Structure 1
Amino acid sequence: MMMDSEGLENGIEELKLKEEKGNAHAQPQGQLQITTFSELVNDVNLHFQIIRFPKQIYVWIGYNSAKLGHMYAAASTRPNNMVSVTSILGGVSDNTGSGIAHRLGNYYHV
């Protein structure tokens, strides 16, 4: 499935609206909040798990399966605050996963 950056941003905004309307399953645990939901996009099931800590956010997106696969970490680096991405689970990185992590890192300014 190919999606341009504008389509991805629109999709994220739609998911935010649905989450606010209560379509998501949220589980607050002290300062930790876990949100899980699935969405059908272009006849493909996407599964999301968002884990929020006080100053961190982990986003996992599964394609056609809710099985946890690759996981990436994105963070701003000094001196110019560019976002760097690394694979922390799942072995060899792929362009799709690292690209999404990079975009989310830029979007949330982590």
Structure 2
Amino acid sequence: MKKRLHVAEMRMLRWMCGATRINKVRNEYIRGSLKVVPVTEKFKGNRLSWYGHVNRGDITHVTKRVLSLHVDGWRGRGRPKKRWMDCVRSDMKEKGVSDSMTGDRTE
């Protein structure tokens, strides 16, 4: 999915610049000239922002309860599907943020 988003984004950026693939202009040059952050980086930031917002919320709210929800049963064979929390944990690890940093701030 990330690859498809990257391709679509670069197609739009090239269109904005008036460059085609025939011109052989590097993606980094186009991105630098327009000063645009990759869309996947924006997704990571928004995902972490939403996680922090939900984590600071009331314990009785449905979004907070869903985060700690455990479903009985078994998952099918093969590679496990990537869940939203898996993405959040990898984003937090990449940015160097711990779970304790997302809670309420006491001053």
Higher relative contact order (CA 8 A, sep 6+): 2
* Larger Rg belongs to: 2
In terms of fraction of residues, the more helix-rich structure is 2
TM-score above 0.5, yes or no: no
Q: TM-score, normalised by structure 1?
A: 0.28
